[in-house]
Amino acid sequence: MSLLNIVFLFAWGKPDWKPVLVAYLGLILQGGCLLAVGALISAMTSNQIVAGGATFFVSLLLYMLSWMTEYDSTTTSKVLNYVSIVTHMENFSKGILDLKDAVFYVSFIFLALFLTARQMESLRWRS
């Protein structure tokens, strides 16, 4: 749906297309992160409603971690702020392609999918 806004933006304006592509890349990576977390939670539960609720809660927690640790400067709060998905989206939304943010998203996706595969293998061997 947001592609319609981009069409109008380019039809009536002359924006630079590179920051727009970087922002969309960030959205795709952030969405992949949340989908991978959802797949992991779904593999860990046998009930779809519980999996949906838990995925919503974990996604909301990952989103709100930056707000909860914004005014604290302890080491724990810095680590929690780094785990937040919003912190890494800031550069993408400004059109800045930073390697550390892309690596965070890709490694988060691969870790969640790896754990999902291990959980599925564990379920297969148990039954």
Q: How confident is the model over 41-75, as pLDDT tens digits?
A: 999 999 999 999 999 999 999 988 888 877 888 88
pLDDT average, residue stretch 96-104 = 93
Predicted TM-score (pTM) of the model is: 0.86
pLDDT average, residue stretch 6-34 = 90
Closest CA to 82 of 69, 93, 99: 69
pLDDT for position 47:
93
- Say if residue 82's pLDDT is above 90: no
- Say if residue 1's pLDDT is above 90: no
What is the residue extent of each domain of the chain? 18-121
> Residue 3: pLDDT band by 50, 70, 90 thresholds?
confident
At residue 73, φ and ψ (nearest 5 deg) are -115, 20
